Amino acid sequence: MSFPILRGSSLRETEVGKKVTVHGWVHSRRDHGGLIFIDLRDFGGLLQVAFHPESHPEVFKLAESIRSEDVIRVTGTLITRPASMVNPKLATGKVELTAEELIIFSKAATPPFEVSADTLSVNEETRLKYRYLDLRSERMRRNIRMRHRVIKFLRDYLDKEGFVEIETPILTKSTPEGARDFLVPSRLHPGSFYALPQSPQQYKQLLMVGGIERYFQIARCFRDEDQRGDRQAEFTQLDMEMSFVGRDDVLMLIEGLFTQLVETLYPEKKIMQKPWPRLTYHEVMEKYGIDKPDIRFGLELTDITELAHASEFKVFKEAKLVKGITAAQSFSRSEMDELEAFAKEEGAKGLASAKVTADGFESQIAKYFSLELQKKIATAMQAKEGDTLMWVADEKFKANEVLAALRNHLGDTLKLRDPNLLAFAFVVDFPLFEEGKLENGHFAPSHHMFTMPKEEDLKLLDTDPAKARSYQYDFVLNGYEVGGGSIRIHDPKIQEKIFSLIGFTEKEKQYFSHMLKAFSYGVPPHGGIAPGIDRLLMILQNEPNIREVIAFPKNQTAQDLMMDAPSWVSEEQLRELSIKVTKRE
């Protein structure tokens, strides 16, 4: 007679008295008073199973041979645990299965680390090499389970909003934009290469030309760039594009989508501000020194360049920018030395500081400032007695970069960053081209070359392109850029103008001839955005990097240690692809 096969972790008191079959991994084993107890683990959690020598001696004898991580199947009767044995930490803590039949599917070798514990303390290289074991840990199972739920929520929400999910090609064309492409050689066309998509940008715009109007995709993207904690060579984004929309239409949709996602799937978290604040690029660079600010805490930056130039401190007098942070805290000499070392690691020449007292600055550089000037600086920085002022003097971009990093560092060390507080915000009005950056004498796009300039700034493309603003917008959360997007150029003449300003030759423009050709047949105004699913989940799951929310990530050098990739291929394969390798490490 067969019995229903159920997931053990789903059993509750309502099933007490039923005979069921469960299967999974042996999470742990305990021998007590002649009985054997095991915690049986499946993807959903744990169920306690008891083996009794009197009632089922053969099953008990077989159970004596099982060890942690063995894969088994057990048939038995579900009973209620005695009140003294209830485990309130488990969803199945009020019941246990009395084993009557046991099958051992496979025996497990001793794992290189304990999967029943939180594996974050295990060497990451070891975890990635044995990722299939790491995935058995409760934290990783929880992350994978929430990843599924988040993606399902995104799909369901957008379906109700009239979006159509469409897969765009993975084998596509290499074009001169963004990061380095991953190239794929073509056997049928010797000497020619496909590129793996850095994003479906061109395809989704062409879908708008095709009249789709509302598209989305859980898109796999590939960028051959250096790895960081919030980057991977391959990653997943929620790719979206809409026709007949303006900037506010896109932002309102995103705000509604992710507000509802958090309130539904993460009720323990609090959204800091609703509606989400919209901050201009100029505003965030002035206040936070970075275009992806963490606004959960203060420590905003203050520009004191004019006041600093009035001092006798040579470093300040000659600096292009002097900017600082006011911390409502006193620091010891050793703590200030550590902060200065941190600033120098970020590229600063030094970190000047002063403690505000009733008699003026307490600092090695106080002698270079008159008492009146000290008071003016303290007032400008909204400082009070007992506060510590810190300054960086440098050119604009370096000073902002260092202070932004220092601000985030202070946010951590002073415990100002609440992981359950979600500070969503939009950053808007980006410059069309990167500030102060030219590539071979030409402008570098701030976002990408398909971003629409603001209408009131179109005339600046002919007179002063560096001052032109764009319809780029970023979606930021707790100090990370979660997604970027823009209203796109739909006028071929404007697109050609942008190509020229960024220095494309006529040959390079031909890489995009398919886009310009398509636009000649009638293209609607359109725009979109692409939030990063890995990065969003990293924040929501309170994980230190995105590798913790990806089933099979690469390591810091873009290697798959489990599969040993990338790897060498045979000479025969290379010949078939008309490839000759000139360098092997």
Q: CATH 3.30.930.10 occupies which residues in the chain?
A: 142-276+425-549
- pLDDT of 116 strictly over 60: yes
State the average pLDDT over residues 437-460. Answer: 82
Q: CATH 2.40.50.140 occupies which residues in the chain?
A: 8-106
pLDDT at residue number 509: 83
How far, in Å, CA of 407 to CA of 325, rounded? 8
Longest dimension (CA), the chain: 94
Cβ atoms of 49 and 30 within 8 Å: the answer is no
Q: CATH 3.30.1360.30 occupies which residues in the chain?
A: 297-416
Q: What is the pLDDT of residues 457-489, one digit of tens each?
A: 999 999 999 899 999 999 999 999 999 999 999
| The CATH fold of domain 8-106 | OB fold (Dihydrolipoamide Acetyltransferase, E2P) (2.40.50)
pLDDT at residue number 441: 64
How far, in Å, CA of 490 to CA of 277, rounded? 28
Instruction: Enter the CATH code of domain 142-276+425-549.
Output: 3.30.930.10
Among the ranges given (127-131, 213-217, 219-223, 448-452), the one the predictor scored with the smallest mean pLDDT: 448-452
The DSSP H or E segment spanning 202 is: helix 201-209
Would you call the peptide bond into 53 cis, given omega within 30 degrees of 0 as the criterion?
Answer: no
Is residue 162 very low, low, confident or very high in pLDDT (cuts 50, 70, 90)?
very high
pLDDT at residue number 448: 82
The answer to whether the pTM exceeds 0.85 is yes
Q: What is the pLDDT of residues 539-562, one digit of tens each?
A: 999 999 999 999 999 999 999 999
State the average pLDDT over residues 493-512. Answer: 86
pLDDT at residue number 6: 78
Rounded to a whole number of angstroms, the distance between the first and last alpha carbons of the chain is 61
| The CATH fold of domain 297-416 | Gyrase A; domain 2 (3.30.1360)
